[in-house]
Amino acid sequence: MSTPLPLTHKRVLTVALPVVLSNATVPILGAVDTGVVGQMGLAAPIGAVGIGAIALTAIYWIFGFLRMGTAGLTAQASGAGRSGEVSALLSRGMIIGLGAGLVIMALQVPLVWLALQTAPASSEVESLAQTYMSIRIYGAPAAIGIYAVTGWLIGLERTRAVLLIQLWMNGLNIVLDLWFVLGLGWGVEGVAIATLIAEWSGLALGLWLCRDALNTPAWKDWPRVFERAQMILFARVNRDILLRSVMLQGIFLSFVFLGARFGDVTLAANHVLLQFLEITAYSMDGFAIAAETLVGQSMGARSAARVRRAALMTSFWGLITVLFTAGIFALFGPAIIDLMTTAPDVRAEARVYLPYMIAAPLVGCAAWMLDGIFIGATRSADMRNMMFVSALIYIAAVVVLMPLIGNHGLWVALLISFIARGITLGWKYPALERAAAA
């Protein structure tokens, strides 16, 4: 086994910063998609692309566990010097990703119908949304396969490759959007075809960036790829991450639905402020992913000291990030709100609840960083169980606080759920270090 590379701040930033830059490109693509169909001068195409994109993103999100599970297992295999298992993990992830995509394509009729029932709209919007989804759904194997590819690259610290994939996909998508919609007049179909081409080309680029693994025989060593013990481990880790993610998504969905009880203005204000939370999550994601990679490699090397150092160093940068983010929100929060909405009543209402968004990065830092640490260590059962406890605490807080202080109670309950995740995972952290030394 080769001597592990030193854990340095430069190494943390080398892993994290490409992910932060990659995340910054995501909202740009959404804005361009909306902008090009907006040039058609009709409301229906905008609504159709919005509904279709959200529905497919929600379906694909179910398989987001593949990115996290693959990253943790690959990092550990790399840290242990098991190069054959590293290559096998790429094949394992791709088989599951492509297989899941084919299942979605086969079930497209009921899935599209269910999506339109969940978000009912006018007949014109539904017709256009159906057209959009019926084209884009053929990119499902590529979209889910990319989860496996990016997870594998992250596990090996190759986040610059992840940034390159994201820049290529989003850049090509934007160019094709402009050509197909504004140049050729293809409308909603043009947006869907542009995304379809971008997804498949992104997967092709990703596999090319993994060519070192594909140039070795280990990736097609099928007895190794389908080894029973490794397949069970792969399934268990990903199952637990999926269950944890479903519970986390349930908290956020309930927050939105419960906020609707306080009227349209409060609902809109909550939605505006949730964008602050999304900004924080995108900023923190790079350092959480650095924790996945470096903690995972340290676990593979069976070094509790390196696990602790990796956890502390990545968390240091995570703390710097949330302090900066909270400061920006405190200084410029009202101006950011005004950029997001021109409605005076929504602006005023959002200002009332802005302090919760200033506090959110600070109280959520531990939860975000510990998520990355536990993913890297593949302690997925702990993540699942502590998420369950945190969800119960959130429900109890909602039941107690909403009747007393209304929407303030809802915000406090959400922050309490962040604190609960941080405390419960922190309680489990010593066992993680003990496992590294075992």
The domain spans of the chain are 1-226, 239-438
Output Rg (C-alpha) for the chain, integer angstroms: 22
Angle between helices 140-155 and 65-79 (to 10 degrees): 30
Q: Residue 121 pLDDT > 90, yes or no?
A: no
Mean pLDDT computed over 36-42: 67
Of residues 161 and 29, more confidently modeled: 161
Q: Encoding tokens for residue 206?
A: 């990703």
pLDDT given for residue 120 in this prediction = 61
**344, 345, 346, 347 alpha-carbon torsion, rounded to 10°:** 50
How far apart (Å, rounded) are the C-alpha atoms in residues 344 and 68? 41
Mean pLDDT computed over 299-313: 94
How far apart (Å, rounded) are the C-alpha atoms in residues 151 and 135? 26
How far apart (Å, rounded) are the C-alpha atoms in residues 281 and 365? 10
Q: What is the DSSP letter of 180?
A: I
Mean pLDDT computed over 307-320: 96
Q: To the nearest whole percent, how much of the chain has pLDDT over 70?
A: 95
Using one digit for the tens of pLDDT, what is the confidence trace for 90-118? 999 999 999 999 999 999 889 888 877 76
By three-state DSSP, how is residue 209 classified?
helix
Mean pLDDT computed over 67-81: 92
CB-based burial of residue 5 (10 Å sphere; 0-12 exposed, 13-18 middle, 19+ buried)?
Answer: exposed
Using one digit for the tens of pLDDT, what is the confidence trace for 131-188? 888 998 999 999 999 999 999 999 999 999 999 999 999 889 889 988 998 888 888 8
Using one digit for the tens of pLDDT, what is the confidence trace for 271-293? 788 878 888 888 898 999 999 99
Q: Residue 1 pLDDT > 70, yes or no?
A: no
Instruction: Calculate the alpha carbon distances from 213 to 91, 98, 112, 206, 298 in Å.
Output: 9, 18, 37, 12, 21
**DSSP result, 2-26:** PPPPP--HHHHHHHHHHHHHHHHTH
By three-state DSSP, how is residue 254 classified?
helix
How far apart (Å, rounded) are the C-alpha atoms in residues 410 and 110? 35
Using one digit for the tens of pLDDT, what is the confidence trace for 176-231? 988 998 888 888 889 889 999 999 999 999 999 999 988 888 888 889 889 999 99
CB 351 within 8 A of CB 341: no
How far apart (Å, rounded) are the C-alpha atoms in residues 114 and 107? 11
Chain centre distance of CA 266 = 27
Mean pLDDT computed over 323-344: 88
pLDDT given for residue 34 in this prediction = 65
CB 50 within 8 A of CB 191: no
How far apart (Å, rounded) are the C-alpha atoms in residues 262 and 345? 14
